[in-house]
Amino acid sequence: MRSATIRGLEVFCTVIQAGGFTAAARQIGLSQPAVSQQMAKLEDSLGLTLFVREHGRTRPTEAALTLYEEATIAFDGLDRVTALARDIRSLDRGVIRVAAPHSLSASYLPRALKTLVEGHPNLRISVLLGTYERIIALVAAREVDIGIAKLPIMAVGVEAIPIMTSPLVGVVAETHPLAKKPGLSLKEVAREPLIMLGRGRPWRDQIDARFREMRLAALVSVETQSVESACGFAAQGFGLAIVPEWLFTGLKLPGLVGLPLDIGIEHEFAVAFPSRTRRSMLAHDFAKACISAATAPSG
């Protein structure tokens, strides 16, 4: 398609959106006669009648409205191509924006990112910390390139690469009467004051459902939003914190013990990234780095 035709289609879309030649002329900084001339050339190039005059006003024809729908789709595609080109240029340089939960920020995340940048030495790193919901929102809005999140991910425009499945543990102070036990059943857990995470979230709903299945009531003493916070309350004797083993182990907090829980629930973690982006290659590299960091010594 000739560049003149593309320019004509851009002006044409503005005319449709603005509702007329005069309003479109104001928006794009042309005179009204210049806009009319552009539309005449476009009609001649396409062999279509795009506008007719009725009662002193210009209105688009059915052909024009059909063309407008396709033209907007085409221009959206061009925008995506431009964004893709930008991603390709910056794949191995510039800043990579990463979102992660607080509980991974001190040890696990730096190890994973160190492995990643060894293969992309020109990258700089920008880290944002927050809840899993916030991480997914940032990825969906393309405000970050990759994020570590929990499955399931219920967001449009976000893809995920599983990296870790972790059982739950019950965390207590090492002076707690349960600290020497090899593990805990759900009945034993139900007798303890509980420190719980994520009210209203899918993984918390799983735990609540398991209590209901066993006709047990959970004695919740504290509800909080992070693994570090839950473990902190456990350290102060508020009760037993139920958290993913992987996150608790990564924190390496002194004075606490993690007891396996026989309740049949596991949490799945993944690297999340925006759909249809060149950065997906980087996301796959990051997922490999995350898996490697999960088994590497923390040093």
- Express each pLDDT in 270-292 by its tens digit: 999 998 776 678 888 899 999 88
| pLDDT, tens digit (0-9, with 9 covering 90-100), for 198-224 | 777 888 888 999 999 999 999 999 999
**Mode of pairing for the β-strands spanning 158-173 and 266-274:** antiparallel
More confident residue, 294 or 29: 29
pLDDT-based confidence at residue 299 (cuts at 50, 70, 90): very low
- Whole-structure pTM value: 0.62
The residue to which tokens 């700089």 are assigned: 124
Q: Of all residues in the chain, what percent carry a pLDDT higher than 70?
A: 91
The pLDDT, as a whole number, for residue 87 is: 55
The pLDDT, as a whole number, for residue 86 is: 60
**Alpha helix (H) ranges present in the chain?**
3-18, 21-28, 32-46, 62-90, 108-119, 132-140, 186-190, 202-213, 227-235, 245-251, 280-295
Distance of CA 168 to the CA centre of its chain: 24
| pLDDT, tens digit (0-9, with 9 covering 90-100), for 262-272 | 888 899 999 99
For the chain, list the domains and their CATH numbers: 3-89 (1.10.10.10), 93-163+268-295 (3.40.190.10), 164-266 (3.40.190.10)
The pLDDT, as a whole number, for residue 204 is: 86
**Mode of pairing for the β-strands spanning 57-60 and 146-150:** unpaired
Residue 100, pLDDT above cutoff 90: yes
258 within 8 A of 245, measured Cβ to Cβ:
yes
Beta-ladder partners of 159: 273
Distance of CA 2 to the CA centre of its chain: 39
Segment 92-118 mean pLDDT: 85
SS3 state at 276: coil
pLDDT-based confidence at residue 93 (cuts at 50, 70, 90): low
Most confident of 18-22, 69-73, 110-114, 168-172: 168-172
Instruction: Tell me the pLDDT of the chain averaged across its residues.
Output: 87
Closest CA to 276 of 87, 78, 71, 72: 87
How far is it, in rounded angstroms, from Cα 288 to Cα 291? 5
The residue to which tokens 């090492």 are assigned: 174
170 within 8 A of 246, measured Cβ to Cβ:
no
Residue 259, pLDDT above cutoff 90: yes
184 within 8 A of 260, measured Cβ to Cβ:
yes
The pLDDT, as a whole number, for residue 194 is: 96
| pLDDT, tens digit (0-9, with 9 covering 90-100), for 38-69 | 899 989 988 889 999 887 788 899 999 999 98
| pLDDT, tens digit (0-9, with 9 covering 90-100), for 138-185 | 999 989 989 999 988 888 889 999 999 999 999 999 999 999 999 999
| The one-letter amino acid at 67 | L
